[in-house]
Amino acid sequence: MADKKKMSVAEILAAARAADGKGEQAPAASPSAADSEVAPPPTPKPAAKAAAPAAAGGRPSVADILAAARANKGAAAAEVEPKSAAPKPAAAVKPAAAPAKVAAKPGPSEAGRKGVERDTASILAAARAAAKPGPVSKAEAPSRPVAKPKPAAEKVVAARPVPPRPARPAQPAKAKADDEDRRGFLQIATGSFLAMGFTALSITGGLFSLGLARFFFPNVLAEPPSRFKVGFREGFPSGKVETKFVAQYGVWVVNGDFQGEQQIYALKTVCTHLGCTPSWLEAEQKFKCPCHGSGFYKDGVNFEGPAPRPLERYAIRIADDGQLEVDKSRTFQEELGQWADPASYVTV
């Protein structure tokens, strides 16, 4: 391989022309060209077809162009990349295709063709030299700048300067006084409500206590004494009905005649029909009940109306002091013959 790489351009051209002359046999006749990695077996077909018109018309053949390009590539690679002396097969094939198209155009002479070759080689060399190799590994790749984490929105907000709070305007004196009055009114109103509540509670408690105490003291009917004095007998003239004791004691004191005997007796002011209080009618000389119209004589005997029986008498006597004393604890009924009892009357 070292011998193949050291072949000059002239030798390569000669080998190519020899191959053109032999057609398809050219790669086999030149073992160096056949073994070379630069000219693989599939590619010689188009090269041979292009080389035939070049030999006839003076145009450079495809093989020439390829050979020249490979030679220049080798030289350029030696200049640019001395370490990688061995050309890669793929890189050798690709650049050869473009010049083939260019070389297919008619034109140049041998010198011009060499100029073109030189230009092409120089252009390729310059392009390869100027080409910036890309990163071949992750380690060789330039490190990306690490993006700084953005500060959180809260931090930004917290870092924001807080504007100073505006000063509260001074309260005018009148407004201040009104405010104090309002507060005083509220305090008084609140106190009043509390006082009213406690007062109502106290009143309720007091009334409850009174009711409880009243429960322990039952009703007592305050009645007048059953025995009372009505005065001296001279104070009751004959045929007189005294009504001044009706309201207080419920008693008529009568000085009248009963069965031919003048007596002073005390009549009970209760109608024997249903208990109403009759009235003494001086003009008619009778007791008249307002409820149902019962009528009683002066001696108490019923004579009209629904009353079934005469009025009742209370016990009466002359007390130690000479006054007439009525005892309401004892009653006497005429229908029972009790009026004949001397305790039911006082003889005048």
**Per CB under 6 A, does 267 bind ligand FES?**
no
**By CB under 6 A, which span of 98-106, 197-205, 229-237, 284-292 interacts with ligand FES?**
284-292
Q: Which is nearer to ligand FES, 273 or 313 (CB)?
A: 273
**By CB under 6 A, which span of 38-46, 68-76, 212-220, 272-280 interacts with ligand FES?**
272-280
Selected binder of ligand FES within 291, 301, 318, 348 (CB under 6 A): 291
Strands 302-304 and 295-296: antiparallel
- CA angle centred on 84, ends 78 and 87, rounded to 5°: 80
d(Cα 256, Cα 237) in Å, to the nearest integer?
Answer: 9
Spacing of C-alpha 160 from chain mean position: 33
Q: How far is the CB of 310 from ligand FES (least distance, A)?
A: 13
**Per CB under 6 A, does 336 bind ligand FES?**
no
**Per CB under 6 A, does 294 bind ligand FES?**
yes
User: Which structure tokens are listed for 295?
Assistant: 């009528």
The residue length of the chain stands at 348
User: Which structure tokens are listed for 28?
Assistant: 């086999």
Q: Which residues pair with 302 in a beta bridge?
A: 296
**By CB under 6 A, which span of 45-53, 198-206, 218-226, 271-279 interacts with ligand FES?**
271-279
Q: Which helix (H) or strand (E) holds 288?
A: strand 286-288
Task: Please say whether the beta carbons of 118 and 110 come within 8 A.
Answer: no
d(Cα 144, Cα 66) in Å, to the nearest integer?
Answer: 42
Selected binder of ligand FES within 271, 311, 324, 346 (CB under 6 A): 271
**Per CB under 6 A, does 306 bind ligand FES?**
yes
Q: Which is nearer to ligand FES, 239 or 293 (CB)?
A: 293
**By CB under 6 A, which span of 115-123, 140-148, 301-309, 340-348 interacts with ligand FES?**
301-309
How many chain residues bind ligand FES (CB under 6 A)?
12
DSSP for residue 330: E
Binding site for ligand FES (CB under 6 A): 271, 273-274, 276, 289, 291-294, 305-307
